[in-house]
Amino acid sequence: MIKQQTLNVLGAISLLALLTACGERMSFKENIKTIQAAPGAPGSPPPSTEELYVDSTPQCVVDLPHFQISGNVNSFEFQSSFGINFGYTPGGNYSGTSGSVSMKVSKAQMDLVMIGKDPLTRALATSSNVNSNQTKTDLGLTIDFSQFQGNPNYYLSTPLAKVSQKGLELALKDFKKQSDQQLWVGRILKNINKEELMVNHGSQAGLMKGDQFEIYNVDHFWEAEPCTSAYVGSKRTTSAPVAIVEVDQLSQSSSVTKYVFKGKENIRRGAEVIVKKLQPNGNQARYLKKKITLGKISAKPFQLPGNILFDMESVINSQLITTIHGSGTYYFEIK
């Protein structure tokens, strides 16, 4: 990894020396020939006024979540006290037709992959695999499966729900560990006036009045038309922040900030907002919640005792919402 980065830097040095000698600003357009400049994208003529410049920033980068969560339940298995298996595994469904409708369940387990996608590159930003060994739970309780008929949510009141809850909690815990290593990034929603900027996070994310943020303009690169073609990557226009702002007013989902420092570059719509300093909150350490979009956790339907078809997918997705709410780590919207 270090070798690769060193090579990158060395490659960049040679390229840069060439470009600097020609007195030109380095542009990705010249590095990646397949990239075509679209209006507002690097390489296109610079906008003449501040308003136009901000508006020309592609809409799709303005209010982005940190991740889009989705996943797959690879297996969900439970066993009766007589040793009969129910549910499914990557190898397929157990038959589940035998066994009485009211049955003692001795143990259950689940294998779950939960992923967080970068909303622009679609690449995995986080990925957790909670396996059966981690979720294996001894239950020893009787469940009346006839109650599932026409009411899949009955699942949530059974001890089986503990197993999927455990799986989701473990996945989220791992998820948090991974996402903590990534920067909290906000976006500029709007240039309100010459003194104020609107940021796409507010009290829901845990922002407080007086919090300070650095602002960076970012060039985004697409393979063709911005927002509709494949996203290639991004580059900050400067290594130093183009502005530093401080939260002045808060609503649930956005905040109004005032300039503490303003450089020469105009702030673009969609510019990155990075934490500089958070106001102290007594002795408690403060962190900001990341915004996520909830996709779908896929799960296969399977036969319960008594030949009842159980649609696990709808239930596990509603359980995911409650689990994320309960974790207090993220705030989200459902797509």
Partner 1 sequence: MFRFLVALILVSSLAWADSSLAKTRVGIHIAKDRWLTLTDGTRVTQGREISYLLANQLFNFSEFEAVLLDNDEPVHLDLKVTPHIETLLYASGSRSNRLVYGFAPDRVNIFNSGIEGSLENEFVASGEEASQCIKPDFFEGRFNTHGWGPLSSNFGANFDEGFVINIAGYGIGFKQKKFEIKNQIRFAIEDMRSGKKQDLIFDIKAYGKDTFIAGSYSGFALGLEIQRRETLIEALKKILPIAVDGIIREGLIPLNHKGIVEKVKNFSEEIEIKMPKTQRAAVQANALGSCLEKSGNWLEDSIEGIFSFYAYWRYKKILDQPLKSKISALPLNVSNIKVAIIDSGIDYNDKKIGKNVIRFSGDQVLGFDFISWDSRPSDDNGHGTATAKYFLKTIKTDYAIIPIKVIGPFGDTHSSAIYDGFSYAVNQKVDAIVVPWAPALKLTEAYKRGAQLAAQNGIAVFVAPKSMEPGENIFVATVNGQTAFKTKGLGKMHLELPADGVAVVDEFNLWLQNTRGNNK
Binding site for partner 1 (CB under 8 A): 1, 4-5, 7-9, 12-13, 15-17, 19-20, 26, 70-72, 74-75, 79, 82-85, 89-95, 97-98, 113, 115, 117, 121-124, 126-129, 223, 228-236, 238-239, 298, 307
Q: Which is nearer to partner 1, 28 or 331 (CB)?
A: 28
Shortest Å, Cβ 80 to partner 1: 9
Q: For residue 179, give the 3-state DSSP assignment.
A: helix
Q: Identify whether the C-beta of residue 206 lies closer than 8 Å to the C-beta of residue 286.
A: yes
Q: Which is nearer to partner 1, 124 or 141 (CB)?
A: 124
Shortest Å, Cβ 263 to partner 1: 15
Q: Which is nearer to partner 1, 43 or 196 (CB)?
A: 43
Q: Which is nearer to partner 1, 161 or 232 (CB)?
A: 232
Q: Identify whether the C-beta of residue 279 lies closer than 8 Å to the C-beta of residue 206.
A: no
Shortest Å, Cβ 103 to partner 1: 13
Closest CA to 304 of 93, 149, 86: 86
d(CA 305, CA 100): 6
Shortest Å, Cβ 83 to partner 1: 3
Q: Which is nearer to partner 1, 207 or 219 (CB)?
A: 219
What does DSSP say about strands 330-334 and 290-298: parallel, antiparallel, or unpaired? parallel
Q: Which is nearer to partner 1, 127 or 317 (CB)?
A: 127
d(CA 61, CA 67): 13
Shortest Å, Cβ 332 to partner 1: 19
Shortest Å, Cβ 306 to partner 1: 11
Structure tokens at 88: 């499914």
Q: For residue 278, give the 3-state DSSP assignment.
A: coil
Shortest Å, Cβ 216 to partner 1: 10
Structure tokens at 45: 């003529």
| DSSP output for 298-318 | E---EEETTTEEE-HHHHHHH
Q: Which is nearer to partner 1, 17 or 285 (CB)?
A: 17
Structure tokens at 241: 């922040």
| DSSP letter, residue 13 | H
φ, ψ for residue 289, nearest 5 deg: -80, 145
Q: Which is nearer to partner 1, 46 or 90 (CB)?
A: 90
Task: Count CB-CB contacts under 10 A for residue 138.
Answer: 10
CA angle at residue 84 from 83 to 85, to 5 degrees?
Answer: 115
Q: For residue 256, give the 3-state DSSP assignment.
A: strand
Shortest Å, Cβ 219 to partner 1: 11
